[in-house]
Amino acid sequence: MRLFDYFRSPQIKSAALAKERLQIIVAHERGNRHSSPDYLPALKKELLEVVRKYVPIDQSQIKVHLDREGGYEILELNITLPDEEQRSSRR
Amino acid sequence: MATVIVVTSGKGGVGKTTTSASFATGLAQRGYRTVVIDFDVGLRNLDLIMGCERRVVYDFINVINNEANLNQTLIRDKRVDNLYVLPASQTRDKEALTREGVERILDELKQNFDYIVCDSPAGIERGALMALYFADEALVVTNPEVSSVRDSDRILGILSSRSRRAEHGDEPVKEHLVLARYAPDRASRGDMLSVDDVLEILGIPLLGVIPESQTVLQSSNAGVPVILEEDSDAGAAYSDLVDRFLGKNLPHRFLTSQRKGFLKRLFGGS
C-alpha cells in the first residue's frame, strides 16, 4: 500500500478541511456567546432623543455598535451630523 | 502573593493532568513553592501521574469540610523540593466542592505557596468551573484535532465570562496555549492541524508545543512527571514551557520532524 500511496496524486489535505470547518463553527459559536446586550436598542433611542435636542437628525444617522476585543468591550457610537449649510438653511 | 493557574481544556484526554504534573514539578524545580490541586472529584488521577497514590490519606473535600487540615492532607513530593500535591476525593460527590470552601483553601494555600496549579476535570460542570473560577492565569491544553480545538474555544469563552476576574471586572485571566500531542511530520504532510492553524483559530499566545511522545505513557506508567525525563522530547518541551512561563524567551522546539529517507517512506516503518 505504501508504494501506491507514494505515487498517488495528492488529495485535499484533511488538515485544511479541519481548519476551514473549525473557523466557521468557532466564529458561529463566538457570535452566539457575544450577542449584543438587550439594552442596546433602548440606549440608541435615548441617545437619539438627546442629540435631537440640539441637532436635527433621524434614526438612520445614529449607529450604536458593541464590540469585544480581548478583555475589552468597545461601545462604538457613530452620529452623522447634517452639513452646516443644510442646518443654517433650516433656521 | 501567590499566583493561581488553572490547567484546563474542556475536552478530556488531551493532557491536562500530564501538563499539570509536569508544569508544577518544573516550577518547584526552579525553586518556587508549588502546590498542584486535583479538582476531579470522583475521578482523581493526578496522584497516579505524580506517583503518590499510596500516600493519600486525606483529600481536598476533607479539608473543605474541616475533617482534616492542610498539613495533614498535602503530600510532599519525594523527588523535588517545594512541591506538594493536594489530591481530589475519590468518593464524595461533586456538590461538596463549594465556592466558599475552595476559596477558603486557596486563601490558606496562598500564605505558603508561590504557585497554585489547579488541574481541572474535563467538561464544563462544577469541578471545571471551580478549578477556573479563582484563576489568575490559564494553561489551555489543546490537541491539534477538531473537537479539542472547538472545546478549547468554549473554555476560553467561559474564562472570559465566568471566572472571578470576569465577574469582578478585574484584569482578565491571562491565557496560554499548550499544544500537546503534536506530530510535526503529520502536520507537515497536511494530515494534522499545524501550530499556526491552531494559533490562528484560538488567537491566544503559545506557551509551548509538546510533541507526541512514547515517553509520556512510559512516565505515567511509572508515576514520574514527564518533565523529569530530561532526555525525552516531551520532557524537554515541558522544561522550555516552564522557563517561558517564568519569562525566558526561548524558541519553540520540536516543530519539525527529521525527514525520513526515500526507502523508509516508500516501504513504511515508523
Predicted TM-score of the model (pTM): 0.79
Q: What is the pLDDT of residue B224?
A: 97
Q: What is the pLDDT of residue B143?
A: 97
Test B266 with A16 for CB contact under 8 angstroms: no
Written as nine digits, the cell of B34 is 508549588
Please name the member of A15, A23, A71 whose beta carbon is closest to the beta carbon of B192: A15
Test A15 with B268 for CB contact under 8 angstroms: no
Backbone angles phi, psi at A10, to 5 degrees: -65, 140
Once rounded to an integer, what is the mean pLDDT over residues B172-193?
Answer: 96
Q: What is the pLDDT of residue B232?
A: 95
Q: What is the pLDDT of residue B137?
A: 98
Amino acid at B38: D
Amino acid at B199: L
- Is the model's pLDDT at B180 over the cut of 70? yes
- Is the model's pLDDT at B122 over the cut of 50? yes
Q: What is the pLDDT of residue A60?
A: 78
Highest mean pLDDT pick, A12-16, A39-43, A73-77, B18-22 = B18-22
List own/partner pairs for B248-256 with CB under 8 A and 24 or more apart. Answer: B252/B195, B252/B206, B252/B208, B252/B209, B253/B209, B254/B182, B254/B184, B254/B209, B254/B210, B254/B211, B255/B182, B255/B184, B255/B195, B255/B209, B256/B184, B256/B188
- Is the model's pLDDT at A16 over the cut of 70? yes
Test B193 with A26 for CB contact under 8 angstroms: no
Test mutation, A26, A29, A35, chain B, max B CBs within 10 A: A26
User: What does the DSSP 8-state code read for residue B95?
Assistant: G
Is residue B234 within 8 Å of residue B226, measured between CB atoms?
Answer: yes
User: CA quadruple B126, B127, B131, B132: dihedral positive or negative?
Assistant: negative
DSSP alpha helices (H): ranges in B75-171? 99-110, 126-133, 146-162, 164-168
- pLDDT tier at A64, thresholds 50, 70, 90: confident
Written as nine digits, the cell of B127 is 469541578
Once rounded to an integer, what is the mean pLDDT over residues B165-169?
Answer: 90
Is residue A15 within 8 Å of residue B192, measured between CB atoms?
Answer: yes
Give the range among A52-61, B9-18, B103-112, B145-154 with minimum mean pLDDT: A52-61
- pLDDT tier at A72, thresholds 50, 70, 90: confident
| Higher local confidence (pLDDT), A43 or B188 | B188
Closest Cα in chain A, distance from residue B88 (Å): 32
Q: What is the pLDDT of residue B258?
A: 56
Test A23 with B201 for CB contact under 8 angstroms: yes
State pLDDT tens for residues B232-260: 999 999 999 999 999 999 999 989 875 55
- Reported ipTM: the value is 0.84
What is chain B's mean pLDDT, rounded? 93
- Is the model's pLDDT at B261 over the cut of 90? no
Interface of A with B in 12-51 (CB under 8 A): 13-16, 18-19, 21-23, 25-26, 29-30, 33
- Is the model's pLDDT at A68 over the cut of 80? no
Q: A15-46 burial by CB neighbour count: b if 16+ within 10 A, else e?
A: beebbeebeeebeeebeeeeeeeeeeeeebee
- pLDDT tier at B263, thresholds 50, 70, 90: low
- pLDDT tier at B103, thresholds 50, 70, 90: very high
Q: What is the pLDDT of residue B270?
A: 44
Is residue B11 within 8 Å of residue B147, measured between CB atoms?
Answer: yes
State pLDDT tens for residues B210-230: 999 999 999 999 999 999 999
| Higher local confidence (pLDDT), A53 or B141 | B141
Of chain B, the percentage scoring pLDDT greater than 90 comes to 89
- pLDDT tier at A21, thresholds 50, 70, 90: very high
Test A6 with B197 for CB contact under 8 angstroms: no
> Which residue, among A12, A71, A20, A32, has the nearest Cα to B201 in the 3D structure?
A20
Is residue A63 within 8 Å of residue A75, measured between CB atoms?
Answer: no
